[in-house]
Amino acid sequence: MFRTALRNLLAHKTRLMMTALAVLLGTAFVSGTLVFSDTVGGAYRDRLSKSLDDVAVSVTAGGPRTDAKEQSALDAGMVRRIAAIPGVASVRPSVSGLPMIADRHGDPVGGEWGSDGANYVPGKDGKDSRYPLVKGRGPAAEGEIALDGKTADKVGATLGGTVRMAVDGPVVTKKLVGIVKTDNPRVSAGAGMALFDTATAQKLFGKPGEYSELVVSATRGTDQTALTAKVRAMLPKGFEATSGQQLANSQSKMVDEQTSSIRKTLLIFAGISLFVGVFIIANTFTMLIAQRTREIALLRAVGATRRQVVRSVLIEAGLLGLVASALGFVLGLGVAKGLHPVLNLTGGSLPDGPLVIEPSAVLSALAVGVVVTVLAAWLPSRKAARIAPVEALASVEAAPAARGLVVRNSIGAVLTALGVGLMLYVTKFKDSDGINYAMAGSALTLAGLIVLAPLLSRPVVRLFGRLAIRVAGISGKLARENALRNPRRTAATASALMIGLTLITGLTVGAVSADRGMSTMGEPDMTADYKVSSNSYQGLSPEIARALAGQPGVATAVPLRTTGFQHEQRPGSVTGTDVRELGKVVDVTVVSGSLADVRGTTAVAVSDKFAAEGRLTVGSTLPMAFYDGKKATPRVVAVYKDSHILSSVLSAPALVDPHQDKARDDQVLVKAEPGKAKDLAGKIKETLGKNPVIKVQSQDDLRRAGAGSIDDILYLMYGLLGMAVVIAVIGVVNTLAMSVFERTREIGMLRAIGLDRREVKRMVRVESVMIAMFGAVLGVGAGVFLAWSGGHLLRSSFPQYEMVVPWGRIAVFLLLALAVGVLAAVWPARRAAKLDTLEAIGAQ
């Protein structure tokens, strides 16, 4: 039977080519995902391991500090104390932060997350081993900077040239004195690397004389764990000592979590592609078995058992899956290479690295391809085994059993009813609690439609058939009869396209609806004309607000700064601002008390929501435990309606400032003078020196910013689902091509009684279009329904969400389905038209 299976595979290789292509593409997606995630994980680990080579212990500021008079900062004194511990070879003080370096166009290198900044610590040889010099020297004065090579190219600066940058305040210009290399994974992913002398780095990223981290190296033979315990024992409360091995383990775990989420997401779409491919494989083997009925009957007549027939078909499927999977794995290497730049364009920030091909990835990809192919061929193989030798030799193909369709339609009706019922039940929910019901309901609805597709195909194809007859005449009528002849085949072909369009339509309706909701949001409580904030989310220096306040055309510039606290074990945040000017830029509704009484560190206002949760009223005392270990007990003097912009507590800046390491504003709200708002954004940017840190947004900008991210995600989803649609198109081509082969004799008879080549081509094209449009109508309808019902889960967290049906995009989807039908029929139609009439009539 193995030889028989191999002979059948080679004999029908042309007819199996499209099936193999579907398996190949699905496997390529799976293998590409596995290799890609292994490659990204390997690149991260390689760079992280190099950065931890000489790290025995890492000392950082951990939890809240106490008010006791003990060591309260990572400074030179602590460096000396740690260096005196037996077993310590050296202590390297490190300062780090996120500077925004302006590129040639004035945009920040690394985008909104900025670049990595650190201090350059020269050793005895005058060089820092962490950052090998390529050109020049390390920075040694406040006006100097060193960059990695890629960043220097983006900036367009050469040694001796100038670099514009900022951290949280005004733009500063520094002289480029060195080009370095670095293993930092963020740099290889597109961020920059900027180095400064230690004093300058402390001034930019922290406080003079303080460090971000102390990296301890051990003498030869010293146990890391024991050394870490010694360092931890001498540290004051609020500081943490972590061994190099612990650090490596935690970072490795972090890498695994990051790559795992990417892998899971991509594998979901790969699974969708393979699921679509199942329909093509099952359809192909069903048609092949129908065409080989006499051959199978002869095998049964000469002694082959039903088990041997099943085994023969499954071996054939297994060989096909193995070959296609092997080729798919090779193609998957290209997919893995291509995913890197695609995801980085959408903000992935993934490091470069050589392809990592793990044996598990190879075996998984091959196993998935073979298993999917064999499972898809299982039902057709059982059908082949049921062929009775005498009946099969007497007839070519029997129509599907009526009982089988009745049972199938009954099962499909039950599944669809359960799915639709669950989705209607989901509309009763207002939050994510119903997500599991929505997932189950969506799966049941799709499964039910797939099972019911043969029944649904009849009315839809008849409807399209009427139009086809008017447009294509006799060719349209023949196409309609061909599509109706075997509803199972038509349904299986259309179902592959239906799945892809259901997901695409559902995503589109959901995304457009969310986009519309986001566009109505902006900052609903903001009455200011512009919001000035930081690209890096690190906050702004108070100098920014002071500079804006004196800008011509600015009526007022109100800075808002925030810090966190706890009240009765519940987290909260307090916004410090100039309460007297706040009403000019924010719509604040006072419920009770007066905001004019908010002053200093003794009087605050609270939101009505926070007041209700904490049982607070005007006159109550608000115990606040800040995260730096300090406490305050101001009195509540006003209650205001919960605001989108303001925190749960509103105070003067004097209450917030002592609890920030460095005074920073989260945002500055700018109100223009009457008639001056239109051109003020450009003037603000000019006033601030085209600072790469600064982001100036109007209400329209804020609305578009929220909506733009949704569009980016939607287009990425389109790309990932595109593979499933391509496989569905292959299914239409494959079904039509095999149908032409199956109907060779029939086409010959049609040619003999007067149907010309053009009409034969038209017949195949119209049949293809009807199958594609059936799948499209079913998919679009299901997608809209699932998006409508599932959208109810957002009502509490996203009250602005309101379902919008993008009729324009849906029309595009239907037109694309029409184009799919026309293009899919090109090769089968030409093949049918080229058949020789006499040879076709004589075909068996």
Structural domain range at position 838: 454-522+700-844
Q: What pLDDT does 147 receive?
A: 95
620 in any annotated domain: yes
624: left (phi over 0), alpha (psi -120 to 50) or beta: beta
Q: What pLDDT does 398 receive?
A: 47
Higher pLDDT, 166 or 50: 166
**Token pair for residue 85?**
């511990």
114 in any annotated domain: yes
Report how far residue 34's alpha carbon sits from residue 375's, in angstroms, rounded to the nearest whole number: 22
Q: What pLDDT does 48 receive?
A: 66
Res. 584: pLDDT tops 50: yes
Q: Are residues 217 and 105 in the same domain?
A: yes
Which of 65-74, 112-121, 609-618, 745-754 is the least confident region?
65-74
Within the chain, what is the greatest distance between any pair of CA atoms?
106
- The helix (H) or strand (E) run that includes residue 338 is helix 306-345
Q: What pLDDT does 373 receive?
A: 86
Residue where a domain stops, chosen among 188, 217, 242: 242
Res. 395: pLDDT tops 50: no
Q: What pLDDT does 70 receive?
A: 44
Q: What pLDDT does 605 receive?
A: 95
Q: What pLDDT does 650 receive?
A: 95
Report how far residue 194's alpha carbon sits from residue 118's, in angstroms, rounded to the nearest whole number: 7
Q: Are residues 237 and 335 in the same domain?
A: no
429 in any annotated domain: no
| Helix, strand, coil content of the chain in percent (nearest 5) | 60, 15, 25
Q: What pLDDT does 135 receive?
A: 92
415 in any annotated domain: no
Q: Are residues 257 and 333 in the same domain?
A: yes
417 in any annotated domain: no
Q: What pLDDT does 662 receive?
A: 79
Res. 111: pLDDT tops 50: yes
Yes or no: say if 337 and 355 are a contact pair by the CB < 8 Å rule: yes
Task: Report the SS3 class of residue 135.
Answer: strand
Strands 162-166 and 100-101: antiparallel
- Cα dihedral 700/706/710/716 (nearest 10): 100
Q: What pLDDT does 701 receive?
A: 79
**Token pair for residue 513?**
């609806």
Which tens digits make up the pLDDT trace of 478-508?
Answer: 889 888 888 888 888 888 888 888 988 988 8
Q: Are residues 34 and 82 in the same domain?
A: no
Q: What pLDDT does 379 receive?
A: 79
Report how far residue 593's alpha carbon sits from residue 485's, in angstroms, rounded to the nearest whole number: 79
Which tens digits make up the pLDDT trace of 152-162?
Answer: 999 999 999 99
Q: Are residues 71 and 135 in the same domain?
A: yes
Q: Are residues 705 and 665 in the same domain?
A: no
Which tens digits make up the pLDDT trace of 419-434?
Answer: 999 999 988 887 777 8
394 in any annotated domain: yes
Res. 694: pLDDT tops 80: yes
Q: Are residues 508 and 470 in the same domain?
A: yes
Q: Are residues 692 and 724 in the same domain?
A: no
Number of domains the chain contains = 4
Yes or no: say if 531 and 559 are a contact pair by the CB < 8 Å rule: no
Mean predicted confidence (pLDDT) in 706-716: 66
Q: Are residues 203 and 129 in the same domain?
A: yes
Which band of pLDDT confidence, cut at 50, 70 and 90, is reported for residue 65?
Answer: very low
Q: Are residues 306 and 335 in the same domain?
A: yes
Tokens 């006791």 sit at which residue? Answer: 68
Res. 577: pLDDT tops 80: yes
Angle at 258 between CA 506 and CA 369, to 5 degrees: 65
Res. 540: pLDDT tops 60: yes
504 in any annotated domain: yes
Q: The dihedral of CA 368, 371, 377, 379: what is its sign?
A: negative
* Global pTM value: 0.68
Q: What pLDDT does 71 receive?
A: 43
Report how far residue 73's alpha carbon sits from residue 37's, in angstroms, rounded to the nearest whole number: 40
Report how far residue 448's alpha carbon sits from residue 296's, in angstroms, rounded to the nearest whole number: 33
> What is the rounded average pLDDT for all residues in the chain?
83
Q: Are residues 490 and 636 in the same domain?
A: no
C-alpha count within 13 angstroms, C-beta hemisphere, residue 168: 19
Strands 570-576 and 649-651: parallel
435 in any annotated domain: no
Res. 68: pLDDT tops 70: no
Residue where a domain stops, chosen among 242, 275, 298: 242
Res. 616: pLDDT tops 70: yes
Higher pLDDT, 395 or 738: 738
Residue where a domain stops, chosen among 671, 697, 723: 697
Which band of pLDDT confidence, cut at 50, 70 and 90, is reported for residue 667?
Answer: very high
Q: Are residues 706 and 618 in the same domain?
A: no
Give the DSSP per-residue string, 670-692: EEEPTT-STTHHHHHHHHTTS-T
For residue 291, what are the CA distances in angstroms to 15, 733, 734?
11, 18, 15
Yes or no: say if 213 and 94 are a contact pair by the CB < 8 Å rule: yes
